[in-house]
Chain A
């Protein structure tokens, strides 16, 4: 059963940066954009399983650190013309607290 879990304060994630959340389902990457939106994806690139949390965030995309594939943070879809996707987890920011549904 999915549950909203508190994971950190928003300032714990740098703007245009990310954090890794260790969970029973494996690592989850949590991203914060320049406009303070927070997104979460499974920390694995569909290409060769690169840790997306180590990528560079720009707009609402992240570029995988291994081979430069780009993923949409809001959908988990890979930016065309490449294809693939990484699982997306719902997030919510209440005041300055970040919640993850897992």
Chain B
């Protein structure tokens, strides 16, 4: 049986993205044919501005070259404009007579630039700014002529003006509204932008109405005249006053249009066999012109074209960034505000920095940043997440705290970094290399950057910088997913939260069941999702779900830490960092017997034996006769203690004893990520409790508990949680907090990130304010840990024997 035929009209970014999504999820569903009116394969229209400015070439911005279409078996008609849809016989007809039948039709006809209806708008030298042809024409004009006029001070107009200026023309921007980018900026920011563009040599005529374009002797445009009588020379006029959805084809076929082609939430037009995506579309009354929403549309359309029927497009919040090198501005959401909103404003006119955040009901609804846009992606994330910001309101305007981030020389602003500066300290990736990859590979996502450059793929501390670079390079095309909607990995579109919910609601107890129920796209997941799913199962159904060793990464599977040479390290548990002469003697004996090359004291107050061969592990554990330190696990690691009142003349509480009690209670506790505790016997805090997941500080009248501290990639100071009186209360509150984190945290989310997501208030409500809930959480934790077993002892007894034995030939 032959495959159904899918025909796409329009070969632009939105359409081709839809095909890519379709081919990803259902590669053999259709015979695909594509019509493109332009003679080029799909290219990155967003990067026309850098091409015009001479920073890139046309070749650089091709997204899918001819071979891509060939590889995917797509029949490509370039330079052919479809002029007719015959809906009865289900075929499309191009101007040159080419006919193609369809079973499904995808319209992605984009938009047309709007030409001001003034006399002379058809003269040679008067163009729009939309495609490669326009760009080429501008580049040619810049070689021959000197006076350029750009009509329209919007994003496109300013990028065109900047490019023409770079190419040596004398450029005047004519703008009808009161300030530049009036749809993206408020008046203050608009004026600041104008000033800095003027400093670069651009001229502006604000609130000017064009009357006509005047031809010169050659017949080419030579001047522009305004309604107030003023006239200036113009050898090139670029109209950038907006676009109109290109609906001519759809309308001629009787498909309902209202401004754009009207589609429902599945991107279907009024003819159910015809879908439409991109700038030609009106969805819920809105026609989008930025690429990010169009990609979201493409994803949904692809899903329905593949007959999967999942997902709805419900509209997008967009953000804007001007791609003019050296000018930093960002805006998102409702930045104007109204009577129901509040504003937080910073206006440093001399320093060239302006920030305005618009807040409604304790949520960020919009903002404008000028001069310093480093925090743009963060604000946009808060906005999309609809996160309650009242806890961080007093420092919200100063941006996300990057204090404590390491690995990139203290930089928190990508714009200020040189191309040679190292962004990713783990993998040695420079800013220039990332920018190059974004441009050459046509990347739109952080995942793309990770894949092609490795930046941000190890410790993740440079993720914010990478997002900034992405946003600066491709502008508003970069839209981070809402945090709670980020897919677990590329095997699925489902988020961590959706997976957790499904496991609970559907009572799923096997990884294969989750993958089947949630329609995983890979047969058995990958190294990212399998460990996450395994954790979610055993944390949701501790008594029913069985731990799957094959879904644990090597360290947790072998119960030791793999080292760069393939040997392992062994860290026996020393409760509260307290040991004995006998233990030390056994450690020394083991070190000699197995010729351990390195013995290291760890930061968690214990001893690490490095360089153990895998086949020696079990014997080493047997000889040590100490329990596992879980130094390898997403689990309880250590409880660090000071000597406390036991010995210290300043001590107010028995820190060692408290620490040991906590560590014994939490032994073998698995969690979304590693968990570290500390107990100090007085506020001098020698155990460094301020940077632990749970920090306990003894005071004369009891204990102070702090949560969410972190001493790793991002130094994060723990926040005060509660003050309690007794040791029992410390166990109960700390235990309940950790159980909450275990039940709600996303895999690989440390407590500091978990709290950043849900808010400290949430944790306090569940643990501190609600006595009953706290006791229930604590009871669940204890019930789960009641049967805790030492994994080393189990393996000495023969569990998972194969793991440690090699075969031979």
Contact = CB atoms under 8 A, between A and B. Distances in A.
User: Are A and B genuine complex partners?
Assistant: yes
A81 B522 CA distance: 19
Interface string A50-89: 1100111111010101111000000000000100000000
Q: How large is the interface on B (under 10, 10 to 19, 20 to 34, 35 or more residues)?
A: 20 to 34
A21 interface: yes
A5 B526 contact: no
Interface stretch (B6-14, B104-112, B550-558): B550-558
Contacts of B550: 14-17, 56-57
A50 B458 CA distance: 16
B750 interface: no
B126 to A, nearest CB: 44
B625 to A, nearest CB: 26
B527 A63 contact: yes
Contacts of B554: 54-56, 65
A59 B524 contact: yes
A19 interface: yes
A19 B527 contact: no
Contacts of B572: none
A59 B674 CA distance: 28
Interface string B436-473: 00000000000000011000011000000000000000
B566 A54 contact: yes
B807 A56 contact: no
A85 to B, nearest CB: 19
**Dominant SS at the A interface?**
loop
Chain A CB within 10 Å, residue with most, of B530, B531, B808: B808
Interface residues of A, number: 37
Given A57-B550, A58-B530, A81-B452, A51 B566 contact: yes
A68 B457 contact: yes
A14 B803 CA distance: 9
B808 A21 contact: yes
Contact of B808 (A14, A23, A67, A68): A23
A36 interface: no
B439 to A, nearest CB: 15
B479 to A, nearest CB: 23
Nearest to A34: B524
A16 B809 CA distance: 22
Contacts of A13: 802
A34 B809 contact: no
B523 interface: yes
A30 interface: yes
A81 B451 contact: yes
Contact of B562 (A8, A54, A61, A68): A54
Contacts of A49: 566
Given A14-B802, A48-B564, A54-B558, A59 B522 contact: yes
Contact of B807 (A20, A55, A61, A81): A20
Interface of A: 5, 7-8, 12-17, 19-23, 27, 30, 34-35, 48-51, 54-59, 61, 63, 65-68, 81, 100, 102
27 contacts: A7-B809, A8-B807, A12-B802, A12-B807, A13-B802, A14-B549, A16-B551, A17-B550, A17-B802, A19-B806, A19-B807, A21-B807, A23-B808, A27-B806, A34-B523, A49-B566, A54-B562, A54-B566, A55-B527, A56-B550, A58-B524, A59-B522, A61-B526, A65-B553, A65-B554, A66-B564, A102-B809
Per CB-CB distance, the 7 closest pairs between chain A and chain B, nearest first, are: A63-B527, A51-B566, A56-B527, A65-B554, A16-B550, A54-B554, A22-B808
Interface of B: 451-452, 457-458, 522-527, 530-531, 549-551, 553-554, 558, 562, 564, 566, 802, 806-809
